[in-house]
Amino acid sequence: MKKLLVLCVMMIVCLIAISQRNVLFVGNSMTFYNDMPKMFEKLANTKEQNLKVTQFTIGGAGLNNLKDEEELLNLFNQSWDYVILQPGTSESAGQGVGVDSLTSIIKQMCRKIWTTSPCAKIFLYEISNGIYLQNGVEWWDYYFSTQPIINNTIHRVAQNTKLPYVPVGECFVAYYKNRNDLKLHISFNDVHPNANGSYLTALAMYNALFEESSNCSYYGNTEEELAKLLQHISDSIVLSNKSLWLLDDFKTNIDFSYVIDSNIVKFQNLSMNYDDVKWNINDEFVSYDDEFEYKFNGVGEKFATMTIENHGCRYELTKTFTIQYSSAINDIKINDNTINIRIKDDVIILEANNDKDLNYKITNLLGQTIQYDKTVNHTIDIHNIERGEYILTLIQNNKSYSYKFIK
């Protein structure tokens, strides 16, 4: 009984470990104030996401300062499902290292993350600016004029690095547009969020990572009425404008189409955002092309499996289909007449190198004649023949050729 109990506990622990997803936040005090990553974890787990969140943050540091930190590099060597990179305050405004250098730094970080976690989803974090005083007067115009600069910088870097971003700053703007009450910041002349601002940040993170409503019963340290308002603002800003934050632009989507013509199937890759493609056609043929045709020998159910990769992350899709007609024997010769046989839409098509029509006979496998006539424009209509296996015999100048087919 004790062994059975231990085994059950071990199985439960294993199941939890398998389903749990790991999230890493990288940034500075804009991330760690009010322990926002832990807020995000609690919020997400309230909505049954089963996340374990880790953070690496150093006050006042930008990504340029963090990129060579040994502890962070060791974290990059661990397995992650999501990583959020927060540029520093100056970096976010396009100052200091500049957009091109920031792009290079983030690409370097991504390569290191994807080496160990090729399927990790990486997001950039657009911060909010602070509210400043000018000669003792609240300077809201300055806030509303500088936030677009931050958004533009992060948007450019996101495009350059092919990463989506979390529009936290835009959620703050949406709140402050009609409420100049400083309820999201610690104080004037301080860029840091208070507990309400960190809660709104966590909501925006949830919206962006999971692309679903943040509505839940977890309010952090925010009063319920304000928390519900912030949930509504975050949902509206993030989910209603996903294209602005590039949330879908760089996703890897896998799909392919196929068109069946007799025993010839044309395949086309419809996937988005991938590096490499490989096809397995019914364990008979392998291709690395985006578009090609394959001729099957024989009828019945077939399959095609396409595998794509994006920075080492593999996606696989299999589709099955049925080949109803077989044209395994082609380019036959009767005298000097070369004939290619195809079957399409219950019509046998004879593609010959001369214009002469042929006599033909169709028999069943018992040898009984089902149809006997002369081809019309090199075609034979088999609409009235029941489904089954038959023998087609083509006759010309006392010479014949028999061909087995299935309708």
Cα-Cα-Cα-Cα torsion 255, 260, 264, 270, nearest 10 degrees, comes to -20
The reply to whether 89 falls in a domain is yes
Q: Are 312 and 118 in contact (CB under 8 A)?
A: yes
Per-residue pLDDT of the chain (407 residues; tens, 9 = 90+): 544 444 444 444 444 444 899 999 999 999 999 999 999 999 999 999 999 999 999 999 999 999 999 999 999 999 999 999 999 999 999 988 999 999 999 999 999 999 999 999 999 999 999 999 999 999 999 999 999 999 999 999 999 999 999 999 999 999 999 898 999 999 999 999 999 999 999 999 999 999 999 999 999 999 999 999 999 999 999 999 999 999 999 999 999 999 998 888 999 999 999 999 999 999 999 999 999 999 888 788 999 999 999 999 999 999 999 987 654 444 555 555 667 777 777 888 887 767 677 889 999 988 899 999 988 888 999 989 988 888 888 887 777 778 777 77
The reply to whether 13 falls in a domain is no
Number of domains in the chain: 3
257 half-sphere exposure, CB direction, 13 A CA radius: 3
Q: Are 144 and 175 in contact (CB under 8 A)?
A: no
Helices 36-46 + 195-210 axis angle, to 10: 50
Cα-Cα-Cα-Cα torsion 152, 89, 95, 182, nearest 10 degrees, comes to 60
> Which of 187, 214, 245 marks a domain boundary?
245
Query: Based on the domain organization, do 355 and 380 belong to the same domain?
Result: yes
Residues 331, 348: Cα–Cα separation, whole Å? 14
The reply to whether 9 falls in a domain is no
Which of 3, 197, 242, 23 has the alpha carbon at shortest distance from 113? 23
> Which of 220, 245, 270 marks a domain boundary?
245
Three-class SS state of 11: helix
Residues 28, 303: Cα–Cα separation, whole Å? 51
Q: Report if pTM > 0.85.
A: no
Query: Based on the domain organization, do 284 and 343 belong to the same domain?
Result: no
Three-class SS state of 202: helix
Query: Based on the domain organization, do 112 and 178 belong to the same domain?
Result: yes
Output the domain CATH number for residue 196. 3.40.50.1110
Output the domain CATH number for residue 274. 2.60.40.10
> Which of 323, 346, 364 marks a domain boundary?
323
pLDDT at 17: 46
Query: Based on the domain organization, do 73 and 193 belong to the same domain?
Result: yes
Unique residue bearing structure tokens 């590099």: 73
Query: Based on the domain organization, do 50 and 162 belong to the same domain?
Result: yes
The reply to whether 3 falls in a domain is no
The reply to whether 88 falls in a domain is yes
Could you tell me the residue range of the domain that residue 291 belongs to? 256-323
Three-class SS state of 32: helix
Q: Are 214 and 193 in contact (CB under 8 A)?
A: no
**How do beta strands 21-27 and 82-85 pair?**
parallel
CA distances from residue 192 to 49, 53, 139, 164, 168 in whole angstroms, order as listed: 28, 21, 16, 23, 13
Query: Based on the domain organization, do 95 and 209 belong to the same domain?
Result: yes
